Amino acid sequence: MSLEHPLAERYLSRLDEQLKDLAPAERREVVDEIRNHIADATRAGKPLDSVLQALGSADELARGYAVELLLHPRAPSSTGKQRTERFLALTGLVVVGSIPTLVIVVVLASVGVSFFGSGLVVFAAGILASVGWLPNEVRMDVAPIWAILLGPLLVAGGALSLAALVWYVRFLARVVRRVLPAPAR
């Protein structure tokens, strides 16, 4: 089936280009499926622009299909090597994106925010106590100089924890990009 509309053909061509890492039969099947979807929708009276907009960009659609086919292959892999690569890719993705990641992100975020915030409060309280402006309801069990010295250390610890969180999230994103099929540029 040919749509014979330049916009639809350009979209399908881009989709086919983005699916270059799939087996040729799978790629043809996906492109034909989308071609039929576009044809059915336009025959039903929907404008081509709205049909393509509802599908999203060809890059995003291709990436979605690549992930879907990685998770749920339509046909069994023909070689043991392909099955092994798929298994290792999925195992890596599950390991990276599971409980350890949850624990690491929660701990680093909690420590970072609480140390950073409490460091600012302790430093401010030390300054206020040293000039005699600390309200009577607030009691400090240490000399103000210790609060002034401890505050920046807490802020630095919180900032380091938040920096480690950013580093970990970037590392995780790199790992996921390696495991999942990336769109072609």
Q: What pLDDT, in 10s, does the model give residues 22-61?
A: 878 888 888 999 999 998 988 999 999 999 999 989 888 8
Same-domain status, 105 and 172: yes
| SS3 at position 80 | helix
φ, ψ for residue 39 (rounded to 5)? -65, -45
Torsion sign across C-alpha atoms 180, 67, 173, 58: positive
Domain termination site, one of 75, 109, 133: 75
Tokens matching residue 109: 């975020």
Which range of residues forms the domain containing residue 131? 99-179
Whether this model's pTM surpasses 0.85: no
Q: Which residues contact 181 (CB under 8 A, 6 or more apart)?
A: 21, 22, 63, 66, 67, 70
Last residue of a domain, one of 75, 90, 112: 75
pLDDT for res 76: 55
Give the integer Cα–Cα distance in Å for 40 and 46: 9
For the chain, the domain total comes to: 2
